[in-house]
A = this chain, B = another copy of it.
Amino acid sequence: MYIGVDLGGTKIKIGMVNEQGQIVRSGIIDTDPSHNDKIIMRDMTVEIERLIKEEGLQIKDIKAIGIGVPGIVDYEKGSIIYCTNLSWYNVEAVTYLKEHFNIPVYIENDATVAAYAESLFGSTKEARDSVFLTIGTGIGGGIIIDKQIIRGAHGAGSEIGHMVIGENFYDCNCGRNGCFETLASATAMIKYAMHKMKDHGAASSLQDIYRKNGQLEAKDIFDQALLGDALALETVHRTARYMAVGIANVYNILDPEIIAIGGGVSKAGDWFFDLVREKVKGMTLVDSDTIDYGKIVRAELGNEAGIVGAAFLSKQA
Contacts and interface: CB of A to CB of B under 8 A. Distances in A.
Contacts of A284: 156
Contacts of A145: 145, 150
5 contacts: A82-B286, A156-B252, A160-B253, A163-B252, A166-B167
Interface of A: 72, 81-82, 127-129, 141, 143, 145, 150-160, 162-167, 174-176, 178, 245, 248-249, 251-257, 282-286, 290-294
Contact of A286 (B81, B257, B290): B81
Given A159-B253, A285-B159, A72 B164 contact: no
A121 to B, nearest CB: 20
A128 B155 CA distance: 14
A157 B257 CA distance: 11
A290 to B, nearest CB: 6
Given A129-B152, A167-B167, A178-B166, A157 B253 contact: yes
A283 B176 contact: yes
Contacts of A255: 151-158
In the assembly, how many copies of this chain are there?
Answer: 2
B252 A159 contact: yes
A160 B129 contact: no
Nearest to A257: B153
Contact of A174 (B82, B164, B178, B285): B285
Contacts of A72: 285-286, 291
A141 B158 CA distance: 18
What is the interface of chain A mostly: helix, strand, loop, or mixed?
loop
Nearest to A251: B156
A61 to B, nearest CB: 33
A142 B69 CA distance: 30
A120 B178 CA distance: 36
A170 to B, nearest CB: 16
| Residue of A163, A165, A253 ringed by the most chain B CB atoms within 10 A | A253
A11 B284 CA distance: 28
A163 B176 CA distance: 17
A252 B294 CA distance: 22
Top 4 A-B residue pairs of the complex, sorted by shortest distance between their CB atoms: A152-B255, A157-B255, A159-B252, A156-B255
B292 A154 contact: yes
A213 to B, nearest CB: 33
Contacts of A290: 81-82
Contacts of A257: 153
A163 B249 contact: yes
Nearest to A146: B148
Given A256-B153, A294-B153, A248 B164 contact: yes
B254 A152 contact: yes
A111 to B, nearest CB: 12
